[in-house]
Structure 1
């Protein structure tokens, strides 16, 4: 029986490595995004700097490990076998929860995860103990749970969200008033002071305050505390002089150094603050195992009071953990997916929005707009104009094909993000408060975005919805972490070793499944099989580039239409649902092209403005095609999903004949536009009347059937809907072909 605990330690060690991988994949967003979004330094350089910060922070991270040992529950009230069940349930839950968020690309909090998992597992284990003890009631729960510390941690996490957003917004607003968006000019006069303040804040709060979490702090703590003001003053003078010399000698912006040092320091703080979330539980389990092994007492009778004592960190384990974190940073593709979410929400310019607006986001934006309107009456007009002038953005004349080179935000905002987040995280770390680095960095970034007027009338409702979705995910994390860890604790208590084996196998299967799912998504994204935005500035170029999109839409429409008819014939709900999803994806891509019309027209040459009319008309016809498909797919899915009578044999046969006709037509159109043999369009147009005559014939046959033999109103409605929408689809295609053929001959 004793061997099971040794196996559990081995399993926890493996889980710790896996947790490091999924944890860093989630949290890399915290310290990479400011540098990535501003494009101040190359991506490879960012990774090198962050790797150094992570490794050093991990190796010297010892102070926070106590949270996993005694921060949430009272260890002396639990026996060794109970503690091991708690730790095993927590680690399995943590890996699966973080990997789930990484897969869907949302940043969540590793701190909140571990805190609520420990809380959930400890509460359930305490309730089990209370249930087996007739002398105790539910009120005895406070004896087992360190409620004061748990409440302190939770309040600290919630407060950090509000504080981070507010401070980020205020500091960014003041910085923008000083530097405006023309920071290059202002940096000549204020750059050295700004650089001095920023680098002093980073160096003091990270390198000095952060030393409190290391075992070396006691040796010189009295000196630092006695001369802290002198050290801050000296540091400010040094960094200000350094900033000025750097700008004069190297002729470069000091903000590059601020962003580089800020990235390093934030990575350092992340490792010092969050390493406990990944290896704190396995290390506590390891020390528990050593204490129990040396005692010679039965596992179910050995109280874990030893966990309440402070234990020195294991340098070798910290070294290995740092190495795993660095490797994950370099090779994890999921880290990039999570990173994209925050950068999209914080970017300065317009573009495709990832999140859909909801009722709450609309309410908040509408309310904020009304408040802003009222403030306009209070603030003098002259002052408003001066403030607005400070927020005027420079016009960047960059070729369309190089638009990806435009940074999501400038270096001023990136610097503020790093400095404010670093100060807040380092302060909490020095106070031994495991606040959420994800919450702090995310909310600082959102606060600076709002203050920087990145959320305009065109994008605010989408950005606010995105922030609300992420915050909602955080509450979901807490609820699921508590519930899942508690459930697994109970299952392991009942099933013992067999249940642990089953849960570990299930965890492996889910991790592999999520990995393959994410890999396929990335692969599809790289293949770029979707519709492409037209970037040409001439009519001839627009015609050529539009051909690819038409070929794409026609090819996919052909497959979707055929699949829908097959699903309808076989009453296959899954196939119809899949077709409905395919139509939605196609519709979203066409909608994105329509959203890009403004930028497309702006990009045209003066001599080719007439091409905009052609492009808009073509997009209109493509929209009509997709809308017809959407109507057919929804009607078909609804009919089968509601278990209405299947279409009659004659109806299916007629629809299959139409499908064969339509398939041949769409294959011809696809081939014409794929090969760009536009002379062949006339051959297709010549078949127009023949196709419409065939559809009219099918409609007349159904009218006759309805009067004599048809008995199902639902079938009749569906069948007529499909015929009429198919006719609309073909009409849109023919109109598109005529427009294209006319423009091609003119050009």
Structure 2
């Protein structure tokens, strides 16, 4: 039996390495988004600073491993078999849940997933044990008080972080305005002193000073003299900040980089348990069983040893830190999650990642009405003065930045302070929740959410917060189900779930790789919104429009053929796939229209005036393509779903030459738009007119055929075919409009 559990432990350790990659991909957003969003330094520099914080935090994190050992469960009443079942179920569920959220680009909390997975697995086994043994109480198996305090603190931190983000950012902007360099002469020293003191308190007094590697007498002295140290740090750092400011050093940039280091250290120190705590607890359990079981069966050897504090070898912690640094630097998924947080906090107009929702619309409407009510009673002079402090025309953004360094500094300092307060009161706040909600609150206070974008960004915040709550529910229920299946299914069930995890991870990474292929078009849009030269914006916009319209033409041709194939072969599955593809493409076209319209406002004025009519005609033609295909598809799909008479062979043969001509014309159109070479433009339009004339002849012939037919059994399929002929003509008309619009817009 021992070799089997050794294999499980090895599997847990392998999952720990992968969990580090997946978890860091998700949690890197906590400490990287402010520095990256404000472009305070090169990406490589930010990574180096964060890596230093991660390395130190990882080595100092040994004491946090107790959460997985006895933070949720009471291990004295669980056998070796029980805890290994719980640990394996937790890791299996954790990998799947976190990877799913990363693939969707949604931030989630590794703390939430770990706590609720441990809670779910422990809860379900506790229920079974209490049912089997009346002498056992729930509190003998589940650490209910600790679990409840963790849950409450995690979710209360959402509101606290958001409200404090709004208040502190609003006050900071009143002081510094968007032209922070002009208003920093005296206030920067005080701000820098407060920020440095807060971060120093976070890094040294709450980080390094709590480490097991610091001598006990040093820790005691630091705790006894904390107030004196804070006062001295504030005075000294304020003087240093003023001197650096006079020497033309950007204090905000310094604070942002220091804050990045502090949060990275906190992340590694506090959250490392989320990734390797369970596998290391499994390893300790196995070592204890091998050394002390004395032949006792796995179901009867109780795990009292897990009540003791973890003594994690430094080499494990160092190796985990190295893996986290490598994952942070190389993971595309990490960059995707960072993009979500940066986009939601963005200062300028841009592409909105989320749509609208009823809840978001209600929140925005109530907020606007409340703002209007307050404005009625506020003196006009005060309102004008406040507005002058929020003049975005004076904003000083670094090249390519989504927001300025003032907001980046507030995000990091405030997040660090809140986490420090939580630590003081022994409230295990989620670093993900705190950093994300501070960023959302500060962006709202900064008036980054205009009336045009507010509903989309509120939807985004609701979606992300909802995702966190869903994480909790999914983690709890999923782990409970997996755990009970493993408990009763034994080794066979455990091996089956291990194989399932490997399969799901391989499939997930393949799907994400396919998704990344479509990212190039998003890169072009981001470049358009960050570029200041209108001529370069125009070149990029022409490229973007060309690719959008050529892809739409290719998409339409493929799905037109798929509909006809589905009708001829009566394959309902093909038609359902086309229906789903049309719905997705309609959403994509709406997104690209907004992107391109935003970019069109940034091109030279004379070009915009000259070309905007053709832009709108082109995008309308693309949308009409989708509507046209939908009008073809719906009758065909209904016909096939109802198993009505198939399309007669004579209709198929009659339409085949027309289908070939339409395909050839669509290919010509796609080629001309994608290459921006329109030498054969008039010839293509002429051939399209000829094809439309042929369709008119066939349509008239078919109408006569319907009129003269006495066989009512073919009436339904005849009407479907008539609709196909009519909409094929409309398809060609749309193609002509799009080709003409593309030529006039790109090659005018």
What TM-score does the superposition give when structure 2 sets the normalisation length? 0.91
Structure 2 CA distance for aligned equivalents of residues 458 and 382 of structure 1 = 27
1:614-633 correspondence runs (5 A): 614-633=614-633
Structure 2 CA distance for aligned equivalents of residues 161 and 543 of structure 1 = 43
| Matching residue of 2:488 | 494
Q: Give the secondary structure class of the aligned counterpart of 1:70.
A: helix
| Matching residue of 1:485 | 479
1:454-493 correspondence runs (5 A): 454-493=448-487
| Matching residue of 1:78 | 78
**Counterparts in 2 of 1:16 and 1:185: CA distance versus 1, 3 Å:** same
Superposed CA offset, 1:225-268 (max 9, x none): 3222211111112221222222233x231111101000000000
Query: Aligned-pair distance for 1:625?
Result: 2.9
The answer to whether the 8 Å contact 2:62/2:310 transfers is no
**Counterparts in 2 of 1:354 and 1:651: CA distance versus 1, 3 Å:** farther
Query: Aligned-pair distance for 1:296?
Result: 3.3
The answer to whether the 8 Å contact 1:23/1:278 transfers is yes
1:259-278 correspondence runs (5 A): 259-278=256-275
**Counterparts in 2 of 1:657 and 1:111: CA distance versus 1, 3 Å:** same
Q: 1:167 aligns with which of 164, 168, 183?
A: 164
| Matching residue of 2:6 | 6
Superposed CA offset, 1:189-234 (max 9, x none): 3222211111111111232122464213743233223222211111
Q: Which is worse superposed, 333-342 or 562-571?
A: 562-571
1:148 aligned onto 2:142: no
| Matching residue of 2:334 | 335
Query: Aligned-pair distance for 1:145?
Result: 0.9
| Matching residue of 1:229 | 227
| Matching residue of 1:253 | 250
Query: Aligned-pair distance for 1:393?
Result: 0.4
Structure 1 CA distance for aligned equivalents of residues 523 and 661 of structure 2 = 26
Q: Which is worse superposed, 617-626 or 325-334?
A: 617-626
| Matching residue of 1:17 | 17
Q: Give the secondary structure class of the aligned counterpart of 1:302.
A: coil
1:38 aligned onto 2:35: no
1:506 aligned onto 2:508: no
**Counterparts in 2 of 1:456 and 1:636: CA distance versus 1, 3 Å:** farther
The answer to whether the 8 Å contact 1:89/1:121 transfers is yes
1:655-666 correspondence runs (5 A): 655-666=655-666
Q: Which is worse superposed, 109-118 or 237-246?
A: 237-246
Structure 2 CA distance for aligned equivalents of residues 428 and 29 of structure 1 = 20
| Matching residue of 2:344 | 345
1:187 aligned onto 2:181: no
Query: Aligned-pair distance for 1:645?
Result: 5.0
The answer to whether the 8 Å contact 1:17/1:324 transfers is yes
Q: 1:243 aligns with which of 232, 241, 244?
A: 241
The answer to whether the 8 Å contact 1:584/1:630 transfers is no
* Divergent runs of 4+, >6 A: 395-398, 527-535, 537-545, 740-745
| Matching residue of 2:436 | 442
The answer to whether the 8 Å contact 1:54/1:268 transfers is yes
**Counterparts in 2 of 1:396 and 1:562: CA distance versus 1, 3 Å:** farther
Query: Aligned-pair distance for 1:527?
Result: 7.4
Q: Give the secondary structure class of the aligned counterpart of 1:188.
A: coil
**Counterparts in 2 of 1:56 and 1:712: CA distance versus 1, 3 Å:** farther
| Matching residue of 2:126 | 126
1:86-105 correspondence runs (5 A): 86-105=86-105
Query: Aligned-pair distance for 1:643?
Result: 5.2
**Counterparts in 2 of 1:614 and 1:9: CA distance versus 1, 3 Å:** closer
**Counterparts in 2 of 1:548 and 1:162: CA distance versus 1, 3 Å:** closer
* Ranges in structure 1 where 5+ consecutive residues have no aligned partner: 399-403
Structure 2 CA distance for aligned equivalents of residues 437 and 253 of structure 1 = 27
Query: Aligned-pair distance for 1:397?
Result: 11
1:729 aligned onto 2:731: yes
Structure 2 CA distance for aligned equivalents of residues 75 and 735 of structure 1 = 72
Q: Which is worse superposed, 382-391 or 593-602?
A: 593-602
Structure 2 CA distance for aligned equivalents of residues 529 and 237 of structure 1 = 46
- How many residue pairs get aligned? The number is 737
RMSD: 3.0
1:274-423 correspondence runs (5 A): 274-297=271-294, 298=296, 299-394=298-393, 405-423=399-417
1:686 aligned onto 2:686: yes
Query: Aligned-pair distance for 1:482?
Result: 1.0
Structure 1 CA distance for aligned equivalents of residues 267 and 741 of structure 2 = 58
**Counterparts in 2 of 1:547 and 1:477: CA distance versus 1, 3 Å:** closer
Q: Which is worse superposed, 553-562 or 635-644?
A: 635-644
Query: Aligned-pair distance for 1:20?
Result: 1.3
Structure 1 CA distance for aligned equivalents of residues 205 and 486 of structure 2 = 44
Structure 2 CA distance for aligned equivalents of residues 439 and 541 of structure 1 = 37
The answer to whether the 8 Å contact 1:187/1:253 transfers is no
Query: Aligned-pair distance for 1:519?
Result: 1.4
**Counterparts in 2 of 1:214 and 1:618: CA distance versus 1, 3 Å:** same
Superposed CA offset, 1:254-284 (max 9, x none): 1111010000000000011101111111222
Structure 1 CA distance for aligned equivalents of residues 412 and 275 of structure 2 = 23
What TM-score does the superposition give when structure 1 sets the normalisation length? 0.91
The answer to whether the 8 Å contact 1:181/1:390 transfers is yes
The answer to whether the 8 Å contact 2:528/2:537 transfers is no
Structure 2 CA distance for aligned equivalents of residues 510 and 650 of structure 1 = 48
